[in-house]
Structure formats: C-alpha cells, structure tokens
Homo-oligomer: A and B are copies of this chain.
Amino acid sequence: MDKVEMGIEEQHEMVAKAFVNHYYHLFDTNRAALATLYHHTSMLSFEGQKFLGVEDIGRKLTQLPFEQCKHFISTIDSQLSPFGGGILVFVSGNLQLSGEEHQLKFSQMFQLIPLPHGSFCVQNDIFRLNYG
C-alpha cells in the first residue's frame, strides 16, 4: 500500500493543530495580520465584549492594550461541526505579556469554516482569561 489513508478524525485534528500554531504565531509576531483569518460574518467574543466582521475584529485585536505577548499552548481539542464541514477547536494555555511577571491562563474556542479553495477561516471565536 503506497497510499496512506488518513481518517477524517486525523484530518481535522491536523487542521486544528496547524491553525492553532499559525494563529498564535501571528498573534505574537504580527498581530495586524490576524484579521486576514476572519471574514465579514465572523464573530469574536473577547472577555464578554462582542465584535463582528473583519474590520471590527481586526481593530479590537490590534488595539489590545499591550505591545507584545507570547502564548504557550497547553491543550488543543477538536471536533467536527455537524454542518458545512466546520471544525470546532478548543485551546487552553498561558500567555505572557511583555513587562508582566506572571503568566495569565486563558481558554479560547474557534469554529473554522472551509473556504472554496481549501483553506479555512474563523467563523466563531470566544476568548476568556481564566482568573485565579
């Protein structure tokens, strides 16, 4: 057997991991570019505040009140969404803001939706710090 068959579960787990690596790498190195991962119906809930669409979400992400941060990912869980080939991604980890001594714990979930040319965009994004 030359052909390696990949199960649908392995496929969406691979997409989820690749997305998570890409997302937080962009967040930590070129935050303004994150907006390209969203589209006009995308939703972001950030610490309870709601944002809709590329411009609104991009503005929020670039105007966060810190210069730099670094994410450390602890867990990535993914599941298929029942409609439209979407993938639910659930992330937990820590983030370190520049100039701050202590790391902050966070959890974040995404729904990724497939685009016609084979990539994915972020349809849903919910972020919460996990306070102590």
Q: Interface residues, chain A, CB within 8 Å of chain B? A: 41, 43, 45, 48, 74-75, 77, 79-84, 86, 88, 90, 92, 105, 107, 109, 111, 113, 123-124, 126, 128, 130-132
Contact, CB under 8 Å: A45 / B113 = no
Chain multiplicity (copies): 2
Partner of A124, one of B74, B81, B84, B113: B81
Partner of A128, one of B41, B88, B90: B90
Secondary structure class of chain A's binding surface, majority of residues: strand
Contact, CB under 8 Å: B130 / A77 = no
Q: Given A45-B77, A75-B48, A107-B130: A123 and B82 within 8 A (CB)? A: yes
Partner of A107, one of B45, B84, B111, B128: B128
Which residues of chain B are within 8 angstroms of A105 by Cβ–Cβ distance? 105, 130, 132
Q: How far is the CA of A131 from the CA of B93 in the complex (A)?
A: 9
Which residues of chain B are within 8 angstroms of A80 by Cβ–Cβ distance? 43
Q: How far is the CA of A131 from the CA of B43 in the complex (A)?
A: 28
